[in-house]
Amino acid sequence: MSSIDATHLPAWRLLSERVRDLPHLRELLDADPQRFQHFRVDAPGMRLDLSRQRWDDGIRGQLVALAEEAGIDAARRQLFEANTFNPTEGRAVLHTALRTHAGKSIDVDGTDAVAAVHAALEGMRRLCTSVRNGSWRGATGKAIRDVVNIGIGGSFLGPAMVCDALGTSDGPNVHFLANIDGTEAARLLPALDPTRTLFIIASKSFGTLETRSNALTVRSWLLERGIAPEDLRRHFVAISTNIAAAAEFGLPEANLLPLWDWVGGRYSVTSTIGLPIALGHGYEVFERLLAGARAMDEHFRDAPLAANAPVLLALAELWNQNFLGTESHAVLPYATALDLLPDYLQQLEMESNGKSVRSDGSPVTTRTGTILWGNVGTNGQHAYHQLLHQGTAPFSAQFILPLAPGHTLDEHHDWLAAHCFAQAEVFARGRSAADVQAELEASGMIPEAAAAAAPHRAMPGNHPSTVLLLDDLGPESLGALIALHEHKVFVQGMIWGINSFDQWGVELGKVLGTTIHGALTDAQGGAHSVDPTTRALVALYRERRR
């Protein structure tokens, strides 16, 4: 698969020229009182304020031209049909099929992907109904009270984020067991009644070490607590593409929900991997999540590039990173319900676009991927915002504020919104030393003292940010928020010419981890790493643990 070098495109060259003499954001904002209207984009479930991006009409137009020259118009349509977007794994990329209406058809290697999705959804619906109405019984005949999702990465972060965002479930309690760190299992299992707990083994490959280890620990735990081997099937279901491995674990096909190669793990929350959402909150809620994602899919596919929320969000961040030199991107949800969103987006963005070669194997010639981090406002204001306001590292930010917060403590929400808007304003405008000095003098400080204090209180500003106003925290809005970012990542990956859908970079560490595990646990010391520091650490560990 050949891929473009976007840095050779005419629009890229013109954009490079625009960086010189670009005014401070404060000046851009002051120059146009209608700037908010000019840079506002409405999309399903949300409104985006892009007026505090450090761009003007001309730059935005040139970025849209870049997207056109990079073939985004055709690419976005191919994302809704059989395609070859993942050549290094030989797979199509079709997460949009997960929320396509029944009746449409997308042929993948002779199978209709949409029909397969709807058959799986029906299986999911039946399973949810039986667990939630109590007809699914545990080994001793009791209904299920707790559900534990055993999975990691894409088989964990999306469902955990959505369950957390939706709040208290009206069905069984939903828990997540992801990490190989035994602390998680050791803390969770004693709180559960084995006869009333259903475990979901969520693993596309069914080969992920963390998931397999946790599943084996749980199986032993159930057996030790008197669940007979033949009754384990009442306490386990699995979601995987690997039917053989699930069968080897002891799960009959009836306990398996399918997944498909054309859904990447980090793009799988709207697949059967979303089962914990449906079990906890009801299958209808999951359907509403799909509807929200579908609405964003349609917006992405059909809206002109210049009025397209995922496209403009992608272009704004590309401009920030590749032209203005921002080093990281802070995702700041002003919503405790979205506190797992930065974790979820970290995998989506960084596992997708952290690549050094283009799809054809040639080295990239510009920075790709984005170092994404963040957590909920207003907590960050009392921690790392100091560095954001007065530190030296250039960054961009995305604020997310739900207009309807899902509670009735309106005075809290007014304060939360006020702080969100205030931070975005200060990021953009900053405060000059001269202004600080004048204010201090006006408040009665003598000029010498004011002059000495001013540099410590000045803030450069000029930090680009987007404010995303989410309608609410309902499933439709969450589905739209997920699809917005999926498509943003896609657009950036296409412009960078990379494959956003493989993740070979995570493999070497897994292989080495297995070798080192042998060295740690074998009586003879097992195979050794070639690295002397690793060997020394292994020796120290063995000595201390003996």
- 112, 459, 505 from 452: Cα distances, Å: 71, 15, 50
Q: At closest approach, how far in Å is the CB of 200 from ligand F6P? A: 12
- Compute the least distance from the CB of residue 176 to ligand F6P, in Å: 13
Angle (CA) 514 273 101, round 5°: 145
- To the nearest whole angstrom, how small is the minimum distance from the Cβ of residue 450 to ligand F6P? 55
**If you count them, how many residues does the chain have?**
546
Tell how far CA 318 is from the center of its chain: 18
Asked if residue 263 lies in contact with residue 95, where contact means CB atoms within 8 angstroms, the answer is: yes
Shortest approach of ligand F6P to residue 528 CB, angstroms? 24
Question: For residues 67 and 345, which CB has a smaller minimum distance to ligand F6P in the complex?
Answer: 345
CB of residue 345 to ligand F6P, shortest distance in Å: 14
| Cα distances (angstroms) measured from residue 112 to each of 121, 258, 455, 471 | 14, 14, 64, 34
Q: Report helix, strand or coil for 331.
A: strand
Is residue 118 part of the annotated active site? The answer reads: no
Residue 343: both structure tokens together: 């974790």
Q: Which residues contact ligand F6P (rule: CB under 6 A)?
A: 152-155, 203-205, 208, 211, 265-266, 351, 503, 506
- Of all helices (H) and strands (E), which one includes residue 266? none
d(CA 158, CA 152): 10
Nearer to ligand F6P, 154 or 171 (CB): 154
> Residue 255 in contact with residue 127, Cβ under 8 Å?
no
Active site annotation includes 329: no
Residue among 356 and 386 whose Cβ is closer to ligand F6P: 356
User: Hey, what amino acid is at 292?
Assistant: G
Mark whether 510 is an active-site residue.
Answer: yes
Q: Beta 107-108 vs 111-112: how paired, if at all?
A: antiparallel
Q: Which is nearer to ligand F6P, 212 or 488 (CB)?
A: 212
Q: Which residue is nearest to ligand F6P (CB)?
A: 265
Q: What angle do CA 217, 220, 224 make, to 5 degrees?
A: 140
Nearer to ligand F6P among residue 131 and residue 178 (C-beta): 178
Helix (H) / strand (E) element for 200: namely strand 197-202
* Calpha distance 266→422 (Å, rounded): 33
- Nearer to ligand F6P by Cβ, of 344 and 399: the residue is 344
Q: Pairing relation of β-strands 40-43 and 46-49?
A: antiparallel
Shortest CB 433 distance to ligand F6P, Å? 48
User: CA torsion angle for 247, 249, 255, 260 (degrees, to 10)?
Assistant: -70
Among candidate residues 204, 207, 203, 234, the one with its CA nearest the CA of residue 219: 234
Is the Cβ of residue 259 or residue 295 nearer to ligand F6P in the bound state?
Answer: 259
User: Min. distance of Cβ 162 from ligand F6P in angstroms?
Assistant: 15
Task: Find the shortest distance in angstroms from Cβ 234 to ligand F6P.
Answer: 23
Shortest distance (Å) from residue 188 CB to ligand F6P: 19
One-letter amino acid identity for 141?
Answer: G
**Residue 51 or 503 having the CB closest to ligand F6P:** 503
Question: What span, in angstroms and rounded, lies between the C-alpha atoms of 275 and 266?
Answer: 15
Rounded to whole angstroms, how far apart are CA atoms 531 and 263? Answer: 37
Vertex 211: Cα angle to 209 and 212 (nearest 5): 65
Give the DSSP letter of residue 30: H
Residue type, 422: A
Nearer to ligand F6P, 465 or 499 (CB): 499
Minimal distance in Å, beta carbon 21 to ligand F6P? 43
Beta bridge partners of 112: 107
Side-chain-facing half-sphere of 67: CA atoms under 13 Å: 30
Nearer to ligand F6P, 15 or 157 (CB): 157
In the set 382, 411, 448, 543, the catalytic residue is: 382
Distance CA 422, CA 465 (A): 12
Cis check: omega of the bond before 378, within 30 degrees of 0: yes
**Active-site residue, selected from the candidate residues 210, 351, 476, 486:** 351
Measure the CA–CA gap between 232 and 250, rounded to whole angstroms.
8
Q: Which residues are registered as beta bridge partners of 48? A: 41, 468
What is the DSSP-derived secondary structure letter of residue 367? -
Residues annotated as catalytic are 351, 382, 510
